[in-house]
Amino acid sequence: MTGEHRVSKGLFATDEIMVQGFHWCLDVPKKIGLASLVANILCKRHNNALSELDAAASDAFAVFREAVRLNHVRQRIKRQPMWNVQRLTIDGPRLERWFLKTLINVSFGGQWTIGPGSHMAGSVSCNLVEIAFGRRPFENGAGMYTIAAAGQQMVSEDRVTITPLTQGSNLNAARFNFRGYSIFLNLLPEVFGMHGDANLLHRNVTHNWRVQGRLSHAVLIGGWPDVSAKSANVSK
């Protein structure tokens, strides 16, 4: 067994982070070294097999940082007839699997059954394990959703928060704040819906950034086959 980082260490630019929500820091955030936020969940071989997902999450963080940087730079430029639109891409299927891996990492051994079914509390089904390792896909509406809402405001910083969504003793979904982007991961084999003004965009999606009222750059989260693309305006 080897120590698996509960949240990929490559996301963060420093060796120390603030952590809150585990049993030892429920009410007050604590500063710890990145090397301390680990759990013995996997053997070395299987841990290494998931390293591509850590890289995908780090790449996505870098894309979101660049989108924010470009937004700030262009806000300071005098009005122009047209922007040279920049298009930034993120590997959606691997990022989706990273959300699943991370949700398992922080929930394994806890009070909930991870995913649908009646297996033991704190454990995860074989189906979800196979999805995390890329051996089978999410199906029938399960997987990653991006939240898009009118007037959406984002605080883009090196932060990941996870809010579990449970039904009875089962952990069936989770909401992630992933560097300012709101992401849902649905573990149920059905279309995930929510009430309110927000739209949930399943999988392939383009986030359009507008500066001075015109399209400046776009973040494309894609790569799933046979899924139509959606668009969302996330900055003005």
Tokens of 43: 């053997």
List the one residue out of 152, 154, 176 whose CA is nearest residue 11: 176
Reduced to 3 states (helix: H, G, I; strand: E, B; else coil), residue 97 is: helix
| More reliable by pLDDT, 176 or 16 | 176
The whole-number pLDDT of residue 236 equals 44
Contact yes or no for 151/158 (Cβ under 8 A): no
pLDDT exceeds cutoff 90 at 134: yes
- Helix ranges (H only) for the chain are 44-49, 51-75, 92-107, 126-132
Amino acid at 47: N
Residue spans of the domains in the chain: they are: 2-235
Per-residue pLDDT tens over the stretch 18-68: 665 555 556 776 665 656 555 556 666 665 667 899 899 999 999 999 999
Per-residue pLDDT tens over the stretch 58-113: 999 999 999 999 999 999 988 776 899 999 999 999 999 999 998 888 888 888 89
> Please, what is the Cα angle at 8 between 110 and 11, to 5 degrees?
135
List the one residue out of 52, 189, 204 whose CA is nearest residue 134: 52
List the one residue out of 160, 113, 227 whose CA is nearest residue 6: 160
